[in-house]
A and B are shown apart, each in its own frame.
Chain A
Amino acid sequence: MAQIFSAGADTSLKLFLVGAAVAIVAGFVLLGGFVGSGYRTNVGFRPAQPVPFSHKHHVGGLGLDCRYCHAAVEVSAAAGFPPTHTCMTCHSQLYTDAAMLAPVRQSMANNRPLHWSRIATLPEYVYFDHSIHIAKGVGCSTCHGQIQEMPLAYTAKALTMGFCIGCHRDPAPYLRANEAEVFDMNWRPASDQHAAGERRMAERGIAGRNITDCYTCHR
């Protein structure tokens, strides 16, 4: 009787089985990679804006404070976008003819608002409050990255639940000393950051409190 299978059939079968196993594992790895990728988390998202506003120029160069434009950040959940009026406080004097600023002038003249594209969006079931983070010493750059170096602002960090909860589980490395540091875009943790962070947690009533509770962010 002849063999049903050739001598190589076993190798093929084993290769196939191993290949299938590898494919399944690789599939999960790829899926994990996709989930963490910028495609899904929006990292690097750099939309066109009505006016190519440069944070690098205004913040990094001129040294404007964040709150000059995002005025509500200390008192409200939303940081707020600047009304056209805010732009015009300077630009009624400076670069009054710049073509780049035409949309701003038109907005002012026609009383039509500018439509900015958001670069830091959260799902609607997440209730992030800027004011409490500022009050407790979480700085702008912790979530928004080095905005002062961006000619056109983009999403710097993956604002996923993992990102949020990482800090909520252990806030100490991120807590800054005072208001000046919070708005300091170039802040780097000091060498004693962890000890200082824990001290600040105690001072500010963060220690001993469960801020990983679901209703902290969802409701």
Chain B
Amino acid sequence: MNEPVVPVDKPMSHVGDEIAAIPLEYPRPVGWLAGAAGTLLLLLGFFLSATILFIAGVGIWGVNSPVFWGVAIMNYVWWVGIGNAGTLISGLLLLLNQVWRNALNRFAEAMAVFAIVCAGVYPITHLGRPWLFYWMFPYPAEMGVWPQFRSPLTWDVFAILIYLLVSILFWYLGLIPDLGTVRDRAKGRLGQVFYGVLALGWRGSARHWLRWKQAYHFTAAIAVPLVFSVHSEVGMLFSASQLPGWHSTFFPPFFVVGAAFSGFGVVTMLAISIRQALHLEDVVTMFHLDALARITLGLSMLMGYCYWWDIFNSVYSGDRYELRAVGDKLSGAYAWSFWTTQFLNVVVPHVFWSRRARRNLFVLFFVGLAVTVGMWFERYMLVLTTLYHGFLPSSWNYYIPTFWDWAVFAGTIGLFLFPYFLFVRFLPVSSIAEIKEKVFQIRQERA
């Protein structure tokens, strides 16, 4: 491919001009205000529904016995998955030295941070007694009791928290030089001080760059296995039980692949939105979108393999309960969620065999959306088909989410998008320094 990945032929300042201009003189104030207001409304909806939830109790959700976990856990897994993909795109591609990563990594990392926040609210909101959430942390309690470190839930709590902290560090570390760029371009005093403080006095010293690069790579190198561990733990949250359909060693890798897949879906949507809204055609090029589409296609096939391997695994076990769980998956009361998943995650991405589809923004966006929604249904299918039919037929029952399930879910979308709008408005959305680095590299190679 000969098309440009980075704007090689333009002056070095061009990238900085394009990206750093956004926080300083935002090009689309009206659209932004409308979007931010809408998502702020959703965010307020989140606080309202969470307050009502805390006051009334999780009884206002549709959870019951045996479906003790409902939409809350599905959303949790979904958000963790999206978050994980952000780090994967940024960290893994950095380690693999993929040039095209640099246009996407910043907002993928932002996606990771905000998605993890959304995921993180669920382990608290879904508690019966959320005000006692701090019992999950090891602190010298007067009771002398500690958390239970064998529980995948405890792992999850730490995993989410540590993952959030490490993601923020990784993100911020990458941001520092670019914040310096914005600082130096800022005209107003307010912008200078704001970005000046955030940039911590970055001045592009060779020594700083050296340490920065080492730290950046090292953090990427530990963030990537962290992602694998975090989503493996989410998988173990299920497979640590003995329930048919969950009790499988296959879950951790299955979940990691799912996480990456859902994240690519969201990143595709975000990339297109940001590109179109902010006219970053030079930064987020067709090449980037094409690459995303190819990876989505590849992961989609991997997902398909996972789904059917999981089913084969159950069938091959010959265990009666596993077989019944497969039966329920394929033709039970919630089989529609399985087939929806199959269609959206496994069938739809195959349009990407076509180059035209890969380069059509609408198709790209739609497939990204399909994958995102499909991955939600996958979690719905995974959680529900096992829980509603457990071992003893006497305790089988159905599950109907209530208004408040959806209200909190919609609220978390606000919790994700509103900070994201702030991010797009006030921080450099792509990695200026790294793109310049690549431009320089390519120029040297050409020379």
Contact = CB atoms under 8 A, between A and B. Distances in A.
Interface of A: 4-5, 10, 13, 32, 35-36, 160-162, 165
Interface residues of B, number: 11
B197 interface: yes
Contact of A162 (B144, B192, B197): B144
B143 A4 contact: no
Nearest to A40: B142
23 contacts: A4-B183, A4-B192, A4-B193, A4-B196, A5-B193, A5-B196, A5-B201, A10-B201, A13-B197, A32-B140, A35-B142, A36-B142, A160-B142, A160-B143, A161-B142, A161-B143, A161-B144, A161-B145, A162-B142, A162-B143, A162-B144, A165-B143, A165-B144
B180 to A, nearest CB: 11
A161 B142 CA distance: 7
A35 B143 CA distance: 11
Interface of B: 140, 142-145, 183, 192-193, 196-197, 201
> What DSSP secondary structure best describes chain B's contact surface?
loop
A213 B368 CA distance: 53
Contacts of B143: 160-162, 165
A43 to B, nearest CB: 13
Nearest to A212: B144
A17 to B, nearest CB: 11
Contacts of A165: 143-144
Nearest to B189: A4
A160 B145 CA distance: 13
B144 to A, nearest CB: 5
A24 to B, nearest CB: 14
A36 B142 CA distance: 8
| 3 closest residue pairs by CB, A with B | A161-B143, A4-B192, A162-B142
A36 B183 CA distance: 48
Contacts of A161: 142-145
A13 B140 CA distance: 32
A10 B144 CA distance: 43
Nearest to B183: A4
B135 to A, nearest CB: 13
Nearest to A5: B196
A87 to B, nearest CB: 37
Residue from A4, A5, A165 having most chain B Cβ neighbours under 10 A:
A4
Nearest to A160: B142
Contacts of B196: 4-5
Nearest to A35: B142
Given A4-B192, A4-B193, 12 more contacts: A4-B183, A5-B193, A10-B201, A32-B140, A35-B142, A36-B142, A160-B142, A160-B143, A161-B144, A161-B145, A162-B142, A162-B144
Contacts of B197: 13
Contacts of A32: 140
A161 B143 CA distance: 5
A13 B199 CA distance: 12
Contacts of B142: 35-36, 160-162
A197 B193 CA distance: 68
A112 to B, nearest CB: 40
Nearest to A31: B139
Nearest to B140: A32
A155 to B, nearest CB: 16
B128 to A, nearest CB: 15
A1 to B, nearest CB: 9
Contacts of A35: 142
A171 B183 CA distance: 65
B202 to A, nearest CB: 12
Nearest to B200: A13
Residue from B140, B144, B145, B197 having most chain A Cβ neighbours under 10 A:
B144
A4 B203 CA distance: 13
Nearest to B195: A4
A156 B183 CA distance: 61
A214 B301 CA distance: 50
B275 to A, nearest CB: 32
Contacts of B144: 161-162, 165
A161 B197 CA distance: 47
A99 B143 CA distance: 45
B199 to A, nearest CB: 10
A4 B145 CA distance: 51
Nearest to B139: A28
Contacts of A10: 201
A160 B141 CA distance: 11
A5 B183 CA distance: 12
A5 B193 CA distance: 8
Nearest to A169: B144
A92 B124 CA distance: 61
B186 to A, nearest CB: 9
A26 B201 CA distance: 29
B137 to A, nearest CB: 12
A86 B201 CA distance: 80
Nearest to B199: A4
A135 B201 CA distance: 71
Residue from B142, B145, B192, B197 having most chain A Cβ neighbours under 10 A:
B142
A35 B183 CA distance: 46
A147 to B, nearest CB: 24
A35 B142 CA distance: 8
A25 to B, nearest CB: 13
B344 to A, nearest CB: 45
Contacts of A4: 183, 192-193, 196
Nearest to B144: A165
Nearest to B191: A4
Contacts of A5: 193, 196, 201
Contacts of B145: 161
B60 to A, nearest CB: 25
Contacts of B193: 4-5
B261 to A, nearest CB: 38
A5 B144 CA distance: 49
